Amino acid sequence: MARVAVITGAASGIGRALAVAYAEQGVRVVAGSYPGDPHDPEQTAALVRAAGGECVVAEVDVRDPAQVDALAQRALDEWGRLDVAVAAAGVLRRAPLSELSDAAWDDMVSVDLTGVLRVLRSAAARMDDGGAMVAVSSIAGGVYGWGDHAHYAAAKAGVIGLCRSLAVELAPRGIRVNTVVPGLIETPQSSDPVNSLGPEGLRAAGAGIPWGRVGRAEEVATAIRFLTSSDAAYITGQELVVDGGLTVRMPA
Which residue among 22, 34, 144, 152 is the active-site one? 152
Count CA within 13 A, CB hemisphere, residue 11. 18
**Does residue 246 contact residue 210 with C-beta atoms inside 8 Å?**
yes
**DSSP bridge pairs for 150:** none
Report the candidate in 116, 57, 128 with the shortest Cα–Cα distance to residue 87. 116
Backbone angles phi, psi at 177, to 5 degrees: -135, 120
Cβ contacts of 164 within 8 Å, gap of 6 or more: 179, 237
Backbone angles phi, psi at 178, to 5 degrees: -135, 170
Alpha helices of the chain — where are they, by DSSP H? 13-23, 41-50, 65-79, 102-112, 114-126, 139-142, 150-170, 198-206, 217-227
Amino acid, single-letter form, for residue 210:
P
CB-neighbour burial class of residue 1 (10 A; exposed 0-12, middle 13-18, buried 19+): exposed
**Does residue 63 contact residue 113 with C-beta atoms inside 8 Å?**
no
Question: What is the per-residue DSSP string for 146-192?
Answer: -TT-HHHHHHHHHHHHHHHHHHHHHGGGT-EEEEEEE-SEESTTTT-
Does 144 participate in catalysis according to the annotation?
no
Catalytic residues: 152
